[in-house]
Structure 1
Amino acid sequence: MSPVTPINKQMQEAPSSIPVLGITINENRWLIPMNDIGEILPVPKIAPVFLTYPWFLGVINVRGNIYGLSDLGHYLDKQPTRISAKTRIFLLASRLGKGYAILAENILGIRDLTEFTRQTETGHENKSPAITGMYNDRQNKRWRMLSLPTLVQLPSFLQASR
C-alpha cells in the first residue's frame, strides 16, 4: 500500500464540486442538483386538466411525450409563479420517473455548491421534506436546496387531482 501523498490528501479534504442550477420562483431562490434535471425548455402550450389542485397547471407535449406541469411555488408556498418571457420549465431526469415538469420563473444559471455556505438554522422556511437545506451565497442571499427525488415521492405531490 502506498502512503497518501499531499495532493491526494488535499483532494480528500476539499469539498466535492456539485453543479447546481440556480432558479427563482417568485421571491425565492432555489438550488437544484444538475443530475436531477433532464432538460430546460421555454414554456410550451399548457393543456389544463380539470379537477386538479391549482398548483398542477396541466399537461404539456414535448416532442410527443406528455408531462404533468407543476408550479412549485404554488405547491410549496401557496403563491402562483409569475409567467413571463424569462419563465422556463425543466423536465426531471428520467431516472426520477417519466412525465414530470416543473415551472421556474427565471433560470439564473449553473453554479457550484462550493460557492454557497450551508445554514444550520433552517427556521420556518423548511416546511417540506423536499427542501433539504438552506444556503447563503457570497452576497448573503438565501437559497433553498430542492430534492427532486424526494419531491416526486411525496403523496401530496403525486396526488394532483382533487
Structure 2
Amino acid sequence: MATREALREFQARLAGRLQSAHTTNVAAWLAVEAGAGRYLFPLGQAGEIFPWTAPTPVPYTQPWYLGVANLRGGLWGVAQLSAFMGDPAARTQAVSEAAREQTRLVAFNEVLEVNCALVVDRLVGLRGLEAFASSQAPDESAPPWMGATYTTAEGENWQELNLQVLASRPEFLSIGA
C-alpha cells in the first residue's frame, strides 16, 4: 500500500513538473526507459501518461504492436517501444506482474493526430540540457525519428526520439505483419 501511495505522489509531482515545464520551458524532455534503452521524448510531442492497461491483441500485426486499449474512453493502439527499436531482449508478450508497477503507456500528443501509446518500462522524470555533459548528432544511417544522443556526466547515453516524425513514418504506421 505504501508503494502505491509513493507511486501516486511521484506521478502527481511529475504531472506538476510537466505542467510547469510547458509554461516555463525548464525541461525539454520526458525521460523514459524501455528495455535496455534510455529515451528522451520532447515534451511538446508526448501526451498523457497512463498506468499499464493490458491491450486487446490484434491478429496479423507486427510483434511490437501489442494491440488496442481503452484509455479514457478512447481506442488507442499500443506499441512496445523496446521491441520497435529492435531490442533483442524485448518482452513482446504480456507485461509481467512485477513490472506492472512501473510500466506506463505514454500517449502521443493529440496534436500529432495519432491515437497511439508507447509502452515504457519506467518513467525517469523530466530532463533539460543541463542534465547532460555532451551530445552527438545521429548517424547518417539512423532512422529519421532518431535525434541526438545525449550523455550524462556519469556516462549514461540517452537517445532523443522525435515522436512527430515517428508518427508519420510508414515503418511505424504499417502495423500489419
Name the TM tier (shorter chain). 0.7 to 0.9
1:76 aligns with 2:85: yes
Gaps of 5+ in 2: 1-24
Q: Distance in 1 between matches of 2:63 and 2:161?
A: 21
**Partners of 2:36 and 2:87 within 8 A in 1:** no
Aligned amino acid, residue 63 of structure 2: P
The alpha-carbon deviation at position 122 of structure 1 amounts to: 4.6
**Partners of 1:17 and 1:113 within 8 A in 2:** no
The equivalent of 1:158 in structure 2 is 173
The equivalent of 2:117 in structure 1 is 101
Q: Percent identity?
A: 26
The equivalent of 2:58 in structure 1 is 49
SS of alignment partner, residue 85 of structure 2: helix
The alpha-carbon deviation at position 19 of structure 1 amounts to: 2.4
Aligned amino acid, residue 31 of structure 1: L
The alpha-carbon deviation at position 154 of structure 1 amounts to: 0.9
Aligned amino acid, residue 154 of structure 2: Q
Change (3 A) 1:120 1:63: closer
**Partners of 2:48 and 2:108 within 8 A in 1:** yes
**Partners of 1:17 and 1:112 within 8 A in 2:** yes
1:22 aligns with 2:31: yes
The TM-score with structure 1 as length reference comes to 0.81
Aligned amino acid, residue 135 of structure 1: Y
**Partners of 2:46 and 2:109 within 8 A in 1:** yes
Aligned amino acid, residue 170 of structure 2: P
**Partners of 1:76 and 1:128 within 8 A in 2:** no
Gaps of 5+ in 1: 1-15
Looking at secondary structure, tell me which structure has more helix per residue.
Answer: 2
Pick aligned residue for 1:116 from 132, 144, 163: 132
When the two structures are aligned, how many residues end up with a matched partner?
146
The equivalent of 2:163 in structure 1 is 148
Pick aligned residue for 2:150 from 132, 135, 142: 135
The TM-score with structure 2 as length reference comes to 0.75
The alpha-carbon deviation at position 26 of structure 1 amounts to: 1.2
The equivalent of 1:87 in structure 2 is 103
The alpha-carbon deviation at position 114 of structure 1 amounts to: 2.9
User: What's the CA shift string for 1:74-133, capped at 9, x where partnerless?
Assistant: 112143248312110111110111311101011001121332244336569x73221111
Aligned amino acid, residue 35 of structure 2: N
**Partners of 1:69 and 1:102 within 8 A in 2:** yes
**Partners of 1:25 and 1:81 within 8 A in 2:** no
User: What's the CA shift string for 1:21-50, capped at 9, x where partnerless?
Assistant: 111111111111111111111111310000
User: What's the CA shift string for 1:130-158, capped at 9, x where partnerless?
Assistant: 11111101212111001000111110110
Aligned amino acid, residue 139 of structure 1: E
Higher mean C-alpha displacement, 74-83 vs 25-34:
74-83
**Partners of 1:38 and 1:91 within 8 A in 2:** yes
Over aligned residues, Cα RMSD in angstroms? Answer: 2.1
